[in-house]
Structure 1
Amino acid sequence: MTVILLRHGRSTSNTANTLAGRSEGVDLDERGVEQAAAVVGRVGELPVRAIVRSPLLRCERTVAPLAAALGVEPIVDDRLTEVDYGAWTGRKIGELVKEPLWGVVQQQPSAAVFPDGEGLAQVQARAVAAIRERDRALAAEHGGDALWVACTHGDVIKAILADALGVHLDGFQRITADPASMSVIRYTDMRPFVVHINHTGAQLSAGLAAKPATDAVVGGSTD
């Protein structure tokens, strides 16, 4: 099973340099709308079987063109929602960088808990559980080999990728997930394989349409 982790397109909060969190009504900006439309061509002819998304509006808008093109009804999974930033929600990034907690978020995110919100360790636990459980369910439904899209948020994607890479959560700030980027993980019985990180090119590899020839090569190389 292979999942394409799609970050929502650029939002009005991104351009305002505020921390949107779970604020109601944060939509895509003009560039974000263009990015959402471009997702259709970037996915191309890849055989996507399902689309799962965060409940927030910016993710709904991002997957809408792809869902229409594929004739697929997106599934909403609350566990893929944005981080609950609590009292930080809606504040300017320029203000937040002066907070003592900002340094913890950057250097030791596993210990970061947002005031009146959730901790980043909780975010990783719920998001990884959502992806792995959904992946197993789709594998059972489609005979063990299918491609699907999960549309969620930057920190959520970074946390999922850290888990797949076997990287401690404290290293997740080294991972980049730009608006409308795609990161790809192939889950197998042995381990996850990270195929793409922060892909922003015109089209994903057509190789994703095919079942991997070998996931069990010693050393992970066929050279």
Structure 2
Amino acid sequence: MRLLLIRHGQTPSNVRGALDTGFPGPGLTPLGHAQAEAVPTALAHESPAAIYASHLVRTQLTATPLAEALGLSLRVQPGLEEISAGALEMRSDDHAVQAYGRCLEAWMRGDLDQAMPEAPDGHAFAERFDAALGEIAGRHGSDETVAVFSHGAAIRVYTALRSDIDAEAAVELALMNTGMSVLKGDPRAGWTLEAWRAEPLGGVELLDLAAHDVTGESADDEAHEGEG
């Protein structure tokens, strides 16, 4: 099967650089809504059999225009949520962002024993995301495409851990709001990275270059935030 792993649209926390990972999370900015509205046209060449989103509000708001355009029900799937910032939640200072980025980078390189402060380690993240995608795959045929709306850090780390991308390349990957990772395969045999689109699906004109989007930056950039 093919998974279209799509990051949510811009939120106020993405603008100010806050590590905002808790439930239910913020809604979208006006730009975030525009990014979401652009998704159906950008994916007009795709024919997803189903559309899934995490429990967090921002993914559901982003997925809704595509679901409505295709006449599909939006399904909320537990386990697709963002990587928890733990004790770093809602912080935007360089120290917190660096700590978050260093942990993500360690996971991408295979060191899943590390944990965010007062949050689960990489094993727990991989297991819950595996379980969520396993449930989704179990509902669909091997020849189907499914759209899955999730989060910046979660998509980047999962792609690094479970696809055929090299770890050194993975830590350099950025994923802007409504960027997309396309994986082909299945949970048992593994996934091949078919495509990576860092910029918004609607085009670069939907980028906010002034935003401090810390969960969309590459893990390397996050880990060295404020240095230099």
Please indicate the TM-score interval, normalised by the length of the shorter structure.
0.7 to 0.9
Cα RMSD over matched residues?
2.5
For residues 167 and 26 of structure 1, do their structure 2 counterparts lie closer, same or farther at Cα, with a shift above 3 Å needed?
same
Q: Give matches, 1:1-223, under 5 Å.
A: 1-97=1-97, 101-102=99-100, 104-105=102-103, 107-109=105-107, 110-139=112-141, 144-166=142-164, 172-187=170-185, 191-200=190-199, 202=202
Q: What's the TM-score, normalizing by structure 1?
A: 0.78
How far residue 191 of structure 1 moved from its aligned partner, in angstroms, is 4.5
CA distance in structure 1 between the aligned counterparts of 2:104 and 2:78, rounded to whole angstroms: 25
Q: What is the alpha-carbon distance in structure 1 between the residues aligned to residue 185 and residue 75 of structure 2? A: 20
Kept in 2: contact 1:12–1:29 (CA 8 A): yes
Structure 1 93/181 Cα, relative in aligned 2: closer, same or farther at 3 Å?
Answer: farther
- The structural deviation recorded for 1:47 is 1.3
Larger Rg: 1
Residue ranges of structure 2 left out of the alignment (5+ in a row): 204-228
CA 1:9–1:103 in structure 2 vs 1: closer, same or farther (change >3 Å)? closer
Aligned residue pairs total: 197
* Partner secondary structure for residue 26 of structure 2: coil
Q: State the shift of 1:180 in Å.
A: 0.5
- 2:49 partner SS: strand
1:85·1:118 contact (CA, 8 Å) conserved in 2? no
Deviating above 6 A after TM superposition, structure 1's stretches of 4 or more consecutive aligned residues are: 168-171
Are the equivalent residues in 2 in contact too, given 1:159–1:169 (CA < 8 A)? Answer: no
Measured against aligned partners, the alpha-carbon deviations of 1:5-55 in whole angstroms (never above 9, x if no partner) come to: 000011111001100011534111111111000001011142111011111
- For residues 148-182 of structure 1, the C-alpha deviation after alignment (integer angstroms, 9 at most, x for no partner) is 10100111111221133245879743332221001
1:118-173, Cα deviation, whole Å (9 max, x unpaired): 2233212211232233123211xxxx311110100111111221133245879743
Change (3 A) 1:124 1:174: farther
Are the aligned partners of 2:59 and 2:149 in contact in 1 as well (CA < 8 Å)?
yes
Amino acid at match of 1:126: R
Higher helix share goes to which structure? Answer: 1
User: Is there any run of 5+ residues in structure 1 with no aligned partner, and where?
Assistant: 204-223
